[in-house]
Amino acid sequence: MDRRKAIKNIAIGLGGVLSATTIGVLVKDFVLTDAAANSTGLLTAEEAFLAEFSDVLIPTTKSSPGAKAAGVGTFIPMMIAECYPTDIQEIFKNGMKSFQEKCVTSFGKDFQALSVEERIKMVEEARKESLVDIKKPSFFILARDLSILGYFSSEIGCTQARAYLPVPGRFDGSAEYKPGQKAWAT
């Protein structure tokens, strides 16, 4: 199974969590030309920013590490470059740049230099802005969706954030699920 097909299957499984834009891009069959693939030109500094951004969305808890520890900062640019068409790549890159500029305008420093409370405030503002036109893809929606997808398809997300039963194991269609128990990863 190729990576695109595997990610497509995960996206369908997470359908209730991901936006229509992300599911549409992952389910749609198209081939990116070499020029279109990786046209965003995301740099290591932007990967560090995306790691911090995704860690606001999925922070470390006492039961599991957050998105940054799961490597979501490198997952997001890889997905944008390899799976999204050029127009969506540009929306993502321009939205990320605009978000970072808003951080400097609001607090006089870039996102990574903000306190946790300031980061949460900026991410919350971006979330509210994305709700103005939910049919239009935005940096926040794309970054949120890819943070969720990257985290819950990572080893940390599958084995620490969720209950994990390695294969081979027996199938039990009526396994007991206790209140407060982690959701099953497999």
pLDDT digits (tens, 9 = 90+) for 23-66: 665 555 555 555 555 455 666 779 999 999 999 999 999 999 99
Q: Per the domain annotation, does 179 fall within a domain?
A: no
Gap between the Cα atoms of 107 and 95, Å rounded: 18
pLDDT of residue 36: 52
Kindly tell me if the per-residue pLDDT of 13 is higher than 60: no
pLDDT of residue 82: 86
Q: Per the domain annotation, does 171 fall within a domain?
A: no
Q: 25: buried, middle or exposed (CB in 10 Å: 19+, 13-18, 0-12)?
A: buried
Structure tokens that stand for 73 in this block: 């900062």
Name the residue among 34, 143, 165, 26 with its Cα closest to residue 92. Answer: 143
Q: Per the domain annotation, does 56 fall within a domain?
A: yes
Q: Which range, of 56-70, 111-125, 157-171, averages the lowest pLDDT?
A: 157-171
Kindly tell me if the per-residue pLDDT of 163 is higher than 70: yes
Q: Which residue has the higher pLDDT, 182 or 91?
A: 91
Q: What is the mean pLDDT of the chain?
A: 83
- What's the number of domains the chain is made of? 1
Q: Per the domain annotation, does 107 fall within a domain?
A: yes
Residue 132 per-residue DSSP state: T
Kindly tell me if the per-residue pLDDT of 102 is higher than 60: yes
Kindly tell me if the per-residue pLDDT of 150 is higher than 90: yes
Q: Which residues lie closer than 8 Å to 107 by C-beta, 6 or more apart?
A: 114, 118, 122
Q: How much is the average pLDDT of 1-14?
A: 56
Contact (Cβ atoms closer than 8 angstroms) between residue 81 and residue 40: yes
Q: Which residue has the higher pLDDT, 25 or 100?
A: 100
| b/e code 129-149 from CB counts within 10 Å (16+ = b) | bbeeeeeebbbbbbbbbbbbb
For 37, the domain range is 3-161
Q: Per the domain annotation, does 33 fall within a domain?
A: yes
Kindly tell me if the per-residue pLDDT of 180 is higher than 80: yes
Q: Per the domain annotation, does 180 fall within a domain?
A: no
pLDDT of residue 97: 96
Q: Per the domain annotation, does 175 fall within a domain?
A: no
Q: Which residue has the higher pLDDT, 185 or 47?
A: 47
Kindly tell me if the per-residue pLDDT of 6 is higher than 90: no
Kindly tell me if the per-residue pLDDT of 117 is higher than 90: yes
